[in-house]
Amino acid sequence: MVTGNMLIVIFLISLAALFFLILKLKLEPFLSLIGVALATAIVIGLPIKEVPGIVAGGFGATLTGVGILIGLGVIFGQFLGASGAVEKIAQAVLKVFGTKRSAAGLGLTGTAVSIPVFFDAAFVILSGLIKSLSKKTGLSIVTFVTSLGVGLIVSHNMIAPTPGPLVVAENTKSDLGLFILYGIICAIPATLIGGYLYGLFIGKRVNHSGEMEESAGVQDAPRKEISTGLSFFMLALPIVLILANTVSQILVPGTIISSTLGFIGEKNVALFISVIVAIVVLGPYISTPKETLYAEAINSAGIIILITGAGGAFGAVINKSGIGDHLIATLQDLSIPVLLLAFIFSQILRASLGSATVALVTTSSIMGPLAVDLGVSPILLGLAICSGGIGLSLPNDSGFWVVSKFGKLTIPQTLKAWTVGGFLAGLSALAMVYILSLFSGILPGI
């Protein structure tokens, strides 16, 4: 089996091959990802009998987390769009933030929503707003995809009780309340810089290659006009259910209340309940036959599910290769400032393994116990690790494909908007960590 620096070379070659197949040869991304995953595993030297199992296992593990969610999310979005709810919500966002700052409003909304709700679920739920806001403001779809995606991934990585930051706080022995507070302080500028400002910049320079599909059944004159209040209620329903689960586990753990809300607020169950409510409640506002909505939603979800799972398969092969362990061992020998080293550790693992949570957990488990010996605040060390997990999402990350497919972006557009925007957000968050370090001894916990 290949070891050492050749692992990095093979990883880079596999990415280049993937881009060549998709962009140059126009091969379907699902086929490209599966093919590159199989070839990479063989070249690395993984036992050939185990290769199909590793690829299939990565595919299945990814869909365990997001497969049902994507299917339900697309159906939920179809009903919101067909009822006119998305239009009402977009009008409200414009009213509060104005046309020029509407992308900032969507980004900050994403930052708030992604605290209790997983990134994939939140992006699926909120992506219906993108085209509506773009049409009303004249701003590029790329701008809104960047702002929303970055806003979601920033809080997913910076603010507990999302699993990654929660584990980082535990591994660094940080006070959780202060960790959340400083995480929010770092997250807001990161969202505005990497999501909103960069989104405006890249939106003017990237021509969106195709219109986002209209939600089936959107009518110029729906049978009955939906209210703004009901529109927000429907959008918030799955988010509130998931949040109720999170809060109950903190306030009343081990009780029948937490068990009940734990079931109802599980992301797949919460979205299923929301779909059923949407079918019943939004019916009077939809003139398109429900069968049409179901059929179009399932057709749209199918390819997204396949590509997302294939991205997970590719990520599983890279993870199995041991590239993460090699990179950490290599970096530990370098004389780099502690906070910067923590950021680089996490950032490289994020890019190579395709999972922000794995990057945060792995880096914090290695560096967390050393915080005192390294002479750095555990909170600052933890936040630097979290900052590193934000950016450089590549095709081995299932989230890359969720953003690409739901945002209707090509691969190059996704790299320019989502990957680079996330990287800038991560750097911005790290800059905030260094600013906080200037107040060492003044701010509590710093």
Which of helix, strand or coil describes residue 114?
A: coil
Whether pLDDT at 136 is above 90:
no
Query: Which of 140-149, 154-163, 259-268 shows the lowest per-residue confidence on average (mean pLDDT)?
Result: 154-163
Torsion over CA of 327, 5, 56 and 77, rounded to 10 degrees? 50
Q: How many domains does the structure of the chain reveal? A: 1
Average pLDDT, the chain: 85
Specify the length of the chain in residues. 446
Provide, rounded to the nearest whole percent, the portion of the chain with pLDDT above 70.
93
Pairwise CA distance, residues 120 & 127, whole Å: 10
Q: Which residue has the tokens 């093979």?
A: 10
Q: Determine, yes or no, domain membership for 115.
A: yes
What's phi and psi for 141, nearest 5 deg?
-60, -35
For residue 96, is it within any domain? Answer: yes
Cβ–Cβ < 8 Å for 179, 382: yes
Query: Which residue, among 345, 87, 390, has the nearest Cα to 225 in the 3D structure?
Result: 87
Residues 339/381, Cβ–Cβ less than 8 Å: yes
Residue 200 lies in a domain: yes
Q: Is residue 433 part of a domain?
A: no
- Residue 6: which residues within 8 A CB-CB, separation 6 or more? none
316 CB-side CA count, 13 A: 24
- pLDDT above 60: residue 211: no
> What pLDDT is attached to residue 386?
95
Vertex 179: Cα angle to 174 and 183 (nearest 5)? 145
Cβ atoms 63, 312 nearer than 8 A:
yes
Q: In Å, what is the CA distance from 13 to each residue of 42, 393, 424? A: 13, 17, 25
With b for 16 or more beta-carbon neighbours within 10 A and e for fewer, the 27-39 pattern comes to eebbebbbbbbbb
pLDDT at 14 over 80: yes
Give tens-digit pLDDT for 352-375.
877 787 788 778 877 887 777 778
Range 284-293 average pLDDT: 88
192-213: b (≥16 Cβ within 10 Å) or e = bbbbbbbbbebbeebebeeebe
The most confident of 12-16, 80-84, 130-134, 380-384, by mean pLDDT: 380-384
E strand or H helix at 231 = helix 228-251
- Residues near 286 by beta carbon (within 8 Å), at least 6 away in sequence: 79, 82, 83, 217, 222, 223, 293
The average pLDDT across 239-255 equals 83
Q: Are 44 and 206 in contact (CB under 8 A)?
A: no
Average pLDDT score over residue span 262-281: 91
Q: Does some domain include residue 420?
A: no
Task: Tell me: pLDDT of 151 over 90.
Answer: yes
Q: Are 426 and 186 in contact (CB under 8 A)?
A: no
User: How many other C-beta atoms can be found within 10 angstroms of the C-beta atom of residue 184?
Assistant: 15
| Tokens encoding 370 | 């050393």
In our burial notation (b when 16+ CB lie closer than 10 A, e otherwise), range 408-422 reads bbebebbbbbbbbbb
Asked, as a colleague might, if the bond just before 412 is cis with ω within 30 of 0, I would say: no
User: For the purposes of burial, counting CB atoms within 10 Å of the CB of 49, is it exposed (0-12), middle (13-18) or buried (19 or more)?
Assistant: exposed
The one-letter amino acid at 109: T
Q: Residues 224, 225, 229, 234: is their CA dihedral positive or negative?
A: positive
Looking at residue 174, its amino acid is: S
Over 60: is that where the pLDDT of 32 sits? yes
Say if residues 40 and 318 touch (Cβ distance below 8 Å).
yes
More confident residue, 175 or 379: 379
Confirm whether 17 is domain-assigned: no
Contact 388, 342 (CB under 8 A): yes
- Cα distances from 47 to residues 2, 5, 42, 53, 56, in angstroms, run 12, 20, 8, 11, 15
* Alpha helix ranges (H) inside 98-175: 102-113, 119-126, 128-137, 141-158, 163-171
Per the structure block, which two tokens stand in for 169? 């706080």
Domain that holds residue 151: 62-162+176-301
pLDDT at 220: 45
Q: What is the pLDDT of residue 328?
A: 65
Distance CA 428, CA 442 (A): 22
- Residues 36-60 have a mean pLDDT of 93
Note whether residue 354 is domain-resident. no
Residue 413 contacts residue 142 (beta carbons within 8 Å): yes
